[in-house]
Amino acid sequence: MTKIGHRVRCPKCGRESRVVWVSQDGKLAGLKCTGYHSQISPPPTKFSKDIQPQTKKGMVFLIEVGQKT
């Protein structure tokens, strides 16, 4: 059973992450990674043609608790 505060590996980069949320039924968990990840950029508009990828630290990923990372 996953509990808030447990340390696990990030599903995207393999770095250490921490469980910050668990669903009531215990099937989903939110992991906050300590590393930097690329943020999904919005589609280009006529006012912003040059969109550069952004990176954010501390992104939260939702995973299934039974899923191997």
Domain chopping of the chain, boundaries:
1-39+56-69
Against a cut of 0.85, is the pTM above it? no
Residue 67, pLDDT above cutoff 60: no
Q: Where residue 69 falls among pLDDT bands split at 50, 70, 90?
A: very low
Q: Which residues pair with 64 in a beta bridge?
A: 28
Residues 6+ positions from 23 with CB-CB distance below 8 Å: 29
Dist CA 55 CA 1 (whole Å): 31
Sheet order of strands, 28-33 included: 7-9, 16-22, 28-33, 60-64
Which pLDDT does position 52 carry in this prediction?
A: 64
pLDDT tens figures, 17-55: 999 999 999 899 999 999 888 876 666 666 666 666 678
